[in-house]
């Protein structure tokens, strides 16, 4: 689905991503691991259109998407999760979900002249969809809670939920398991697996928790010093001497 070809991202001469090439297969849950400073987040940001690359190409289903802005990638079904922004923390969890789909009729002024009924219908449909997503994620009891008041792990679930409000094809998850307790981590893992198996989502996820990666990800891609060092199953990666050295060297 995604091919990254010889990607470079330099920050005033510093090579954060230094010729990385990788493939994310349709239907996979691909893990991206590596020591701190390996360039994982920078690569994510370039692929998701948050940062322009210095050079190299990103191709999605045969189409060159290098440097496209996030909203154009969003329209193609490529999403990157972000933490709930400060300005949305006072809105309820349901409202946070309802805000995601773009291009609702209510946003266009001319529609308010002759489309009141349609706006009300769309809002009802959005609300029903948001409630369905909250139920899927087992946090329906938080629907009316302000997003800023829920726990860190529940926020991660809500971030995942935002990708379910639109027809995502591939979702980039940046440390969705970080700082989350085991119970919620299992809930997040279950949601990712169900989205992958039942709804056909492809995932690429940066993670540090090896158990979590082992449960979800195949293949696992290892980055070090801005490049791809190894790729394989979690078992192969754990037995790879170069990988062990890269981790020990930091």
Interface residues with ligand ADP (CB under 6 A) are 11, 14, 16, 34, 36-42
Minimum distance of ligand ADP from residue 34's CB (angstroms): 5
Minimum distance of ligand ADP from residue 8's CB (angstroms): 12
How many Cα neighbours within 13 Å face the side chain of 110?
0
Nearer to ligand ADP, 37 or 101 (CB): 37
The three-state DSSP-derived secondary structure of 119-178 is: HHHHHHHHHHHHHHHHHHCCCHHHCCCEHHHCCHHHHHHHHHHHHCCCCCCEEEEECCCC
Minimum distance of ligand ADP from residue 189's CB (angstroms): 21
Nearer to ligand ADP, 11 or 82 (CB): 11
Nearer to ligand ADP, 16 or 78 (CB): 16
Cα–Cα distance, 115 to 129 (Å, whole number): 21
Cα–Cα distance, 31 to 216 (Å, whole number): 8
How many Cα neighbours within 13 Å face the side chain of 99?
14
Nearer to ligand ADP, 55 or 186 (CB): 55
Minimum distance of ligand ADP from residue 110's CB (angstroms): 41
Structure tokens at 171: 């979702």
Minimum distance of ligand ADP from residue 100's CB (angstroms): 25
Minimum distance of ligand ADP from residue 47's CB (angstroms): 12
Nearer to ligand ADP, 36 or 241 (CB): 36
Asked if 82 and 76 count as a contact pair (C-beta separation under 8 A), the reply is no
Nearer to ligand ADP, 14 or 113 (CB): 14
Q: At what angle do helices 152-163 and 182-199 cross, to 10 degrees?
A: 10
Asked if 172 and 44 count as a contact pair (C-beta separation under 8 A), the reply is yes
Nearer to ligand ADP, 41 or 96 (CB): 41
Minimum distance of ligand ADP from residue 9's CB (angstroms): 8
Question: Within 10 A of 234 (CB to CB), how many other CB atoms are there?
Answer: 19
Judged by DSSP in three states, 14 sits in strand
């Amino acid at each position: 689905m995604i091919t990254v070809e010889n990607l470079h991202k330099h920050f005033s001469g510093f090579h954060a991503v230094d010729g990385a090439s990788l493939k994310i297969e349709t239907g996979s849950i691909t893990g991206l691991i590596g020591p701190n400073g390996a360039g994982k987040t920078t690569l994510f940001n370039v692929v998701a259109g948050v940062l322009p690359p210095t050079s190299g190409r990103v191709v999605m289903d045969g189409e060159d998407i290098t440097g496209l802005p996030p909203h154009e990638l969003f329209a193609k079904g490529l999403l990157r999760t972000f933490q709930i922004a400060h300005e949305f923390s006072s809105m309820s969890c349901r409202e946070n979900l309802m805000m995601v789909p773009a291009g609702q009729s209510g946003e266009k002024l001319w529609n308010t002249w002759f489309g009141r009924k349609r706006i009300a219908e769309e809002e009802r449909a959005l609300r029903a969809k948001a409630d369905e997503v909250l139920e899927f994620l087992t946090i329906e009891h938080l629907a009316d809670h302000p997003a800023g008041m829920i726990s860190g792990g529940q926020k991660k679930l809500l971030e995942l939920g935002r990708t379910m409000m639109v027809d995502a094809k591939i979702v980039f998850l940046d440390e969705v398991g970080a700082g989350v307790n085991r119970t919620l981590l299992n809930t997040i893992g279950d949601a990712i697996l169900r989205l992958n198996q039942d709804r056909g989502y492809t995932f690429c996820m940066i993670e540090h928790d090896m158990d979590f990666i082992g449960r979800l990800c195949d293949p696992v891609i290892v980055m070090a010093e801005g490049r791809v060092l190894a790729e394989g199953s979690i078992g192969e990666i754990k037995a790879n001497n170069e990988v062990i050295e890269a981790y020990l060297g930091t």
